[in-house]
């Protein structure tokens, strides 16, 4: 996969509103595919009592995730995997969060939906997953702009 996706964080308040739309339940596993500094998995673990797993390829960002997980006392509740989102088996996930881009979503979707368990929710910030029908499309007000989300459920 050659498309480069830079680190642009979702405002945390926006991400939490988007995750709320997936109806998270305590103890469920959320995976952020391309996790940056792990803001989302850390806050989702706190806010919704989820188990967080960030996948990130940039070692500098992975290090930052590890420092934060340790400093914030979240070991055992939040994890980070240094790796490629295209090489991951998503069967562990109840919720997958994406903020990647339409082309990347298109390429990732077959891997995602072939490994996810039935009933798992995928929520994509700003970008749809081409060729897949969302169960819900909505928008969330952010500090600077509106943020669209697309929610999919694995059937």
Ligand X SMILES: C[S@@+](CC[C@H](N)C(=O)[O-])C[C@H]1O[C@@H](n2cnc3c(N)ncnc32)[C@H](O)[C@@H]1O
Residue 84 touching ligand X (CB under 6 A): yes
Neighbour order of strands in the sheet with 146-153: 78-82, 51-56, 29-33, 95-98, 121-125, 146-153, 136-141
| Cα distances (angstroms) measured from residue 20 to each of 44, 66, 97 | 9, 25, 12
Length of the chain: 155
Number of residues that bind ligand X (CB under 6 A): 22
- Contact with ligand X (CB under 6 A): which of 40, 51, 123, 129? 40
Residue 93 touching ligand X (CB under 6 A): no
Choose the stretch contacting ligand X; rule: CB under 6 A; options: 2-10, 72-80, 110-118, 141-149.
2-10
Q: Which is nearer to ligand X, 24 or 36 (CB)?
A: 36
* Binding positions for ligand X, 4-33, rule CB under 6 A: 5, 7-10, 32
What is the closest distance, in whole angstroms, from the C-beta atom of residue 43 to ligand X in the complex?
10
* Binding positions for ligand X, 44-63, rule CB under 6 A: 55-58, 61
List interacting residues with ligand X (CB under 6 A): 1, 5, 7-10, 32, 34-36, 39-40, 55-58, 61, 84-86, 99-100
């Amino acid at each position: 996969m050659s498309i480069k996706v830079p680190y642009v964080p979702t405002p945390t308040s926006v991400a939490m509103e988007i995750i709320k739309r997936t109806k998270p339940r305590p103890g469920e596993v959320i995976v952020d595919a391309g996790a940056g500094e792990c803001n989302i998995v850390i806050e989702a673990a706190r806010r919704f009592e989820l188990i967080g797993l960030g996948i990130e390829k940039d070692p500098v960002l992975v290090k930052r995730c590890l420092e934060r997980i340790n400093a914030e006392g979240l070991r055992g509740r939040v994890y980070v995997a240094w790796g490629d989102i295209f090489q991951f088996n998503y069967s562990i996930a109840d919720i997958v969060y994406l903020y990647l881009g339409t082309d990347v979503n298109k390429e990732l979707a077959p891997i995602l939906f072939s490994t996810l368990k039935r009933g798992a929710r995928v929520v994509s910030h700003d970008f749809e997953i081409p060729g897949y029908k969302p169960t819900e499309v909505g928008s969330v007000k952010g500090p600077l702009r509106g943020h669209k989300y697309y929610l999919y459920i694995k059937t």
